[in-house]
Amino acid sequence: MKAPFATAVAIVIGLLVLAGYIVPIPILVSLRTLLLGWAVILVAVATVVGIINLARVHWNKAIRGEGRDYYSLIFLVAFFLTIVAGAVLGPTNPDFQQAVLSIQVPAESSLMALLAIVLAYASLRLLQNRKGILAVLFVFSAVIFLFLSSGLLAGADAVSPFKEIIGLLNRLPVAGARGILLGIALGSLVAGLRILMGADRPYRG
């Protein structure tokens, strides 16, 4: 086993945090809170390091003589203007929040529109490459939910029986999202157990 000390430390800390959630002993609860506080600090430091590395990469792209990337220059200007405005006005300032939202909301809307186009194209490609009941169901689901989200049936949700049918169809994505969340939770649980047993060691670098 490579890096046995790091593996032992990770297993011990993981078991202590898990025991702090399961066994209501004050010393374990205090130790769990302390370890989680350290983890939050490490995550914050790692985030700052990642942001600095991102800015450095774009800076190198913006200042190079040949093949200069002007989008990186725009990114750097917007990045530093956001930092300065957030530091001067504060993150809770209404004007600062409105300025951020006026950029964030259109960008997210564009990404969602692009996602809808990609989903429709992927459904057609799937139907071409793999013909079967699952492919047909995927294409049918994609078309139905894109049609429901388009707003063409805005007045039909007040007329029976379309109201009940549309309500049932709108509840299906919620069930799918819960299934995805359950899958993420089970995957995280399995990954955590494998780290506690030493089978996976992502901290080796």
User: Considering only CA atoms, which of 201, 196, 177 is closest in space to residue 13?
Assistant: 196
* Annotated domain spans of the chain: 1-89
The confidence score (pLDDT) of residue 101 equals 87
> What pTM, to 2 d.p., does this model score?
0.60
For residue range 99-111, list pLDDT tens digits in order: 888 888 888 888 8
Within 10 angstroms of residue 132's Cβ, the number of other Cβ atoms is: 10
Looking at residue 93, the DSSP 8-state letter turns out to be: -
Q: How many CA atoms lie within 13 A of 27 on its CB side?
A: 0
